[in-house]
Structure 1
């Protein structure tokens, strides 16, 4: 799925540099879902020094290796 995040340069830098994202869900089970990030692209938003990060996300399974 393709998603976009809006934020300051610091907020976008935190997301853009990660190969995976963990998202909390409101109603779905499981409550945590893990996505791999592909093809991130950062665009400067024209208002108030904001940026937009668009990327492809693919849900993945996380296994416990401990």
Structure 2
């Protein structure tokens, strides 16, 4: 799945520096799911000096990262 995050340089750096993201879900069980991050691209957002990070996410197997 492709996702994009918008934020300050510091916020984007936190996300971009990770190879795995752990996300909380609202309706699904298990409530915590881990995703591998790859094909990241960072660009300057045209408004308010923010940045945009777009990446592909693939759900990892098992719960070793959660």
TM norm structure 2: 0.91
Question: In structure 2, the residue corresponding to 1:13 is in which secondary structure?
Answer: helix
Counting matched residue pairs gives: 64
2:10 alignment partner in structure 1: 10
Mapping for residues 12-51 of structure 1, pairs under 5 Å: 12-51=12-51
Question: In structure 1, the residue corresponding to 2:13 is in which secondary structure?
Answer: helix
Query: Runs of 5+ in structure 1 lacking a partner?
Result: none
2:64 alignment partner in structure 1: 63
Q: CA deviation at 1:3?
A: 0.5
Alignment RMSD:
1.2
Separation in structure 2 between the aligned mates of residue 42 and residue 63 of structure 1, nearest angstrom: 28
